[in-house]
Amino acid sequence: MMMASQVTTLPAIALSVGLIGLAQGAEADVGAYLISRRFHIENFSLVLSTMTLAVLVGTAVGALMLSAALEATGSYTLFLTISAVSTIAGALMFGLTATGWARGETAASVTGESS
Q: Which position has the higher pLDDT, 110 or 104?
A: 104
Burial string for 23-59 (b: 16+ CB within 10 Å, else e) reads eeeeeeeebeeebeebbeeeeeeebbeebeeeeeeee
- The three-state secondary structure class of 4 is coil
Confidence band, pLDDT 50/70/90 cuts, at residue 89: very high
The whole-number pLDDT of residue 36 equals 86
Residue-wise pLDDT tens digits, 70-81: 999 999 888 889
- Which pTM does this prediction carry? 0.61
Count the neighbouring beta carbons within 10 Å of the beta carbon of residue 69: 19
